[in-house]
């Protein structure tokens, strides 16, 4: 999990809520807001040209989050993560993004 998630999970506030049988929750829409619409791969020699776009879609009874670009009827996928629910797939994508040095959208509301 990302540091942001771990901070929430380990907070004193969270412990008080657990004692009241509550647990913090993230909405699907809020998690989606964290995902950048596109990223680039710095290891790609064409990184300035190739931007990998975000795709989220149902796949084989679950959900998949991809970052890919298509060119000349051929698609190239930088990462594909699968989860049994949209939230699980998005959280896996967030973990991959942070682990690989990509910045999440910061939308302080």
Long-range contacts of 5-10 (CB under 8 A, 24+ apart): 5/91
pLDDT of 1 higher than 50? no
Instruction: Tell me the pTM.
Output: 0.71
Is residue 82 within 8 Å of residue 59, measured between CB atoms?
A: yes
How does pLDDT run across 39-62, given as a tens digit for each residue?
Answer: 988 777 666 667 899 999 999 999
Give residue 59's domain range. 28-99
Domain-embedded: residue 8: no
Quickly state the pLDDT bin for 73 (edges 50, 70, 90).
confident
Does 87 reside within a domain?
Answer: yes
Please report whether residue 6 resides in a domain: no
Kindly give, in sequence order, each residue whose CB lies less than 8 Å from that of residue 3, ignoring residues fewer than 6 positions away.
Answer: 98
Mean pLDDT of the chain: 81
Q: Measuring CA to CA, which residue among 63, 41, 43 is closest to residue 52?
A: 41
Phi, psi of 24 (to 5 degrees): -65, 150
């Amino acid at each position: 999990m990302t540091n942001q998630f771990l901070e929430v999970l380990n907070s004193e506030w969270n412990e008080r809520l657990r004692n009241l049988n509550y647990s913090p929750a993230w909405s699907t829409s809020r998690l989606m807001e964290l995902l950048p619409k596109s990223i680039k791969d710095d290891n790609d020699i064409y990184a300035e040209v190739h931007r990998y776009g975000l795709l989220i879609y149902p796949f084989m009874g679950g959900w998949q989050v991809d970052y890919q670009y298509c060119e000349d009827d051929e698609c190239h996928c930088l990462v594909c993560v699968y989860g049994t629910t949209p939230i699980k797939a998005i959280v896996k994508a967030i973990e991959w993004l942070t682990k690989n040095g990509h910045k999440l959208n910061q939308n302080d509301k």
